Amino acid sequence: MAILSTRILIAADARPGRRRLLSLLAAGIVGAVLAGCAGPARIPGEGQAFERTGRFAVNVTEPGVAPEAVQGGFAWRDAGRVLRLDLTNPLGSTLARITVQPSGAVLEHSDGSTEVAADADALLAQVVGVAMPVANLRDWLQGRTGAGSVEALQHDSQGRPASFSQEGWRLRLSRYDALGPGLLRLDRRDGGRQISVRLAIDTQAR
């Protein structure tokens, strides 16, 4: 599999937890260039759940600041009350796991250390410095707009959401299979800061 980008720039003022995760992802990408890519593993669990695995790439640009790029793999398992999200390097090694329950969200690093926040959105912002909409992704990954105000909604030829704006993000959804979109592009602008997220799904429909 081709690597989307082999460069990761780590901001000098990043928090320790953020630097640790970005450094691990950078090391994983270097290893992948030498040894080839391995897909992310499914998260084990019993009972019914919505599951996806795939690749992510996050790019952040801001005038006067070195751009940041983070990429790797992810595995997603949403059983309703409990959501689990694994972040992996391009070789498939788990770097961190986020578990979301009604009581809050916990991130466990590969070294066993943990970080806690009220919700997953706050947790990822705390760790990687980008406010990723984990709560909204529970709907977006299934091809739904979800709760909240939606603007500029457009559908594809089969009536599925193809593009819309919600919660400050502009989304483009495509390559649908039986479970939802196979490609999601998310863009957000906060002042002069531009955040772009790409999620490429490689899970086959069951």
Per-residue tokens: 186:
């998310």
Task: Tell me if 6 is assigned to some domain.
Answer: no
| Winning range, highest mean pLDDT, from 15-29, 116-130, 161-175 | 161-175
pLDDT of 129: 63
CA–CA gap between residue 141 and residue 40 (Å, rounded): 17
Give the tens place of pLDDT for each residue, 64-107. 889 888 888 999 999 999 999 998 887 777 788 999 999 899 99
Q: Of 3-7, 51-55, 173-177, which range is least confident? A: 3-7
Task: Tell me if 3 is assigned to some domain.
Answer: no
What CATH number should be reported for the domain holding residue 80? Answer: 2.50.20.10
- pTM reported for the whole predicted model: 0.79
Give the tens place of pLDDT for each residue, 1-17. 333 332 322 232 334 45
Task: Tell me if 4 is assigned to some domain.
Answer: no
The 3-state DSSP composition of the chain as helix, strand, coil percent (nearest 5) reads 15, 40, 40
Give the contacts of 2 (CB within 8 A, at least 6 positions apart): none
CA–CA gap between residue 77 and residue 79 (Å, rounded): 6
